[in-house]
């Protein structure tokens, strides 16, 4: 089975360690800095052999060079190879990457960046979404359009409800405050925010989430059109709640 460990890095990022018990192999997903990720692995007796990168932004690739010096190989989006000089293996839509006996399918999910990808372990009901799908939110559209992100949300919404979502940031509380404004009559959002506020008061994480929970409470996943998503994204960009 897969063991997945959250590693806080930088200000509000999460890197992820994914470990296959049977083979003993370990992957680091989006190590924004290397030292805490390596320390978390070594504390468990694991050695990181691979890095999987969802997109080129420095808070997701900042640790790649040190991870390569540590002995790991780096896999990431072919469409962003020019922006990720540490890349060893370039992948795109429908390619398969492997961790021991487990396989993840690459999904191309542009919008936050032009070549952003996600890694979906269908058999293990887990997906690493980087900065596309957040808990109650979605990534800013730095290099894409509302239509791009709407297409991504439709793909995510089609996954099974129990799929665990491992994203790149602890943004849930601020996303939820906007969600309450976007859908003021959504009782599921209000109930979730009681739980989120309690977790954050205790200094506890809110990630991972699930596709089912996002389908009920995420105003971007719930948008009915690209136009509605775009309006919500623009409103969230200037939201100060």
> Is 1's pLDDT higher than 90?
no
Confirm whether residue 120 is marked as ligand binding. no
Cα–Cα–Cα angle for 80, 154, 152, nearest 5°? Answer: 10
Structure confidence by residue, pLDDT tens digits, 51-77 = 999 999 999 999 999 999 999 999 999
59 is in an annotated binding site: yes
Rg (the chain; Cα; Å): 17
Q: Which domains does the chain have, with CATH numbers?
A: 132-240 (3.60.15.10)
Which are the contacts of 232, defined by CB distance < 8 A and separation ≥ 6?
182, 219, 220, 223
Specify the pTM.
Answer: 0.98
What integer pLDDT is reported at residue 55 of this predicted model?
A: 98
Q: What is the mean pLDDT of residues 145-151?
A: 98
pLDDT in tens, 83-109: 999 999 999 999 999 999 999 999 999
Q: In Å, how far are 60, 102, 216 from 33, measured between CA atoms?
A: 8, 25, 33
d(CA 189, CA 38): 36
Q: What is the pLDDT of residue 69?
A: 97
Please list the active-site residues.
Answer: 55, 57, 59-60, 112, 131, 169
Is 57 flagged in the annotation as binding?
yes
Q: Per-residue pLDDT for 241 more than 90? A: no
Q: Is 19 flagged in the annotation as binding? A: no
Is residue 112 marked as binding?
yes
* Two tokens, residue 121: 């372990």
Residues 176-212 pLDDT 10s: 999 999 999 999 999 999 999 999 999 999 999 999 9
């Amino acid at each position: 089975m897969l063991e997945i460990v959250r590693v806080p890095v930088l200000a509000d990022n999460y890197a992820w360690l994914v470990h296959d018990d049977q083979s003993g192999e370990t992957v680091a997903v989006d190590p924004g800095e290397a030292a805490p990720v390596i320390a978390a692995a070594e504390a468990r007796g694991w050695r990181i052999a691979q890095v999987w990168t969802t997109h080129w932004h420095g808070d997701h690739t900042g640790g790649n060079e040190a991870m390569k010096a540590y002995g790991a190989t780096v896999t990431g989006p072919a469409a962003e190879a020019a922006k990720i000089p540490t890349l060893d293996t370039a992948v795109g839509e429908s390619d398969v990457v492997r961790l021991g006996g487990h396989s993840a399918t690459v999904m191309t999910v542009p919008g936050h960046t032009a070549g952003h990808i996600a890694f979906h372990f269908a058999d293990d009901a887990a997906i690493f979404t980087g900065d596309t799908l957040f808990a109650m939110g979605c990534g800013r559209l730095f290099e894409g359009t509302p239509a791009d992100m709407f297409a991504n949300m439709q793909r995510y919404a089609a996954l099974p409800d129990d799929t665990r979502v491992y994203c790149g940031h602890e943004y849930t509380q601020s996303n939820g405050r906007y969600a309450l404004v976007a859908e003021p009559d959504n009782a599921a959002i209000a109930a979730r925010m009681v739980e989120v506020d309690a977790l954050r008061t205790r200094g506890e994480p809110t990630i991972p989430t699930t596709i089912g929970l996002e389908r009920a409470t995420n105003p971007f996943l719930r948008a009915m059109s690209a136009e509605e998503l775009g309006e919500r994204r623009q409103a969230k960009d200037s939201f100060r709640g």
